[in-house]
């Protein structure tokens, strides 16, 4: 019986000490795989809707233009290819799916420094907006991977209350 109060006292003394201990963050550079993306262009085969290509290009380039880097990073240009585009009809609305390949090309020497492929899809009850939604999702994924600032479209609230 007397062992338990001693163990409790030791626990109460050591617990705050252990809670105050924390590991230091790793000294590895968190932006080692980041690039200063200067431009992007989107290409696709002729069976991919032109609206998807132009809207993806516009959204990615808008994100590039609004991104500010705090330090110097290797400059790159993104070559985005919409490899496959599938349309799945439904009774209400529809579904679109695209496979996209993104290649980062170094501005300094023209070499490919990174490449990746992903597949994304959207579903909407409004079939006329599916290509726009798919373009937004593709651009959001690219902006996320390359840490680009992606601001939404201006609204009345952002126009009235935005900082000068």
Rounded CA separation 69/59 (Å)? 19
Residue 54 falls inside a structural domain: yes
Residue 2 falls inside a structural domain: no
Residue of 80, 78, 79, 86 whose CA lies nearest to 48: 86
CATH of the domain at 67: 3.30.160
∠60-66-70 over CA atoms, to 5°? 120
Residue 25 falls inside a structural domain: no
Please check whether residue 98 is in contact with residue 121, taking contact to mean a CB–CB distance below 8 angstroms: yes
User: Domain span at residue 40?
Assistant: 36-150
Q: Residue-wise pLDDT tens for the chain (164 aa)? A: 556 777 778 878 887 777 776 666 554 455 556 788 999 999 999 999 999 999 999 999 999 998 887 888 889 999 999 999 999 888 888 899 999 999 999 998 989 998 999 999 999 888 888 999 999 999 999 999 988 875 555 566 555 655 55
Query: What's the confidence (pLDDT) of residue 133?
Result: 94
* Block residue for tokens 């529809």: 94
pTM for the model stands at 0.72
Residue 9 falls inside a structural domain: no
């Amino acid at each position: 019986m007397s062992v338990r109060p001693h163990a409790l006292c030791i626990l109460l003394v050591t617990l705050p000490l252990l809670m105050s201990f924390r590991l230091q963050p790793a000294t590895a550079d968190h932006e080692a795989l980041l690039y200063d993306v200067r431009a992007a262009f989107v290409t696709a085969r002729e069976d991919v809707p032109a609206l998807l290509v132009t809207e993806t290009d516009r959204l990615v380039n808008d994100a590039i233009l609004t991104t500010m880097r705090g330090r110097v990073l290797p400059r790159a240009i993104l070559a985005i290819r919409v490899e496959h585009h599938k349309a799945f009809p439904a009774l209400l609305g529809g579904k679109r799916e695209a496979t996209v390949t993104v290649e980062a090309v170094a501005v300094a020497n023209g070499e490919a420094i990174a490449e990746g492929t992903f597949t994304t899809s959207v579903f909407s009850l409004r079939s006329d907006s599916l290509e726009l939604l798919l373009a937004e999702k593709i651009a959001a994924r690219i902006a996320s991977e390359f840490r680009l600032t992606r601001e939404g479209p201006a609204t009345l609230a952002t126009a009235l209350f935005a900082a000068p």
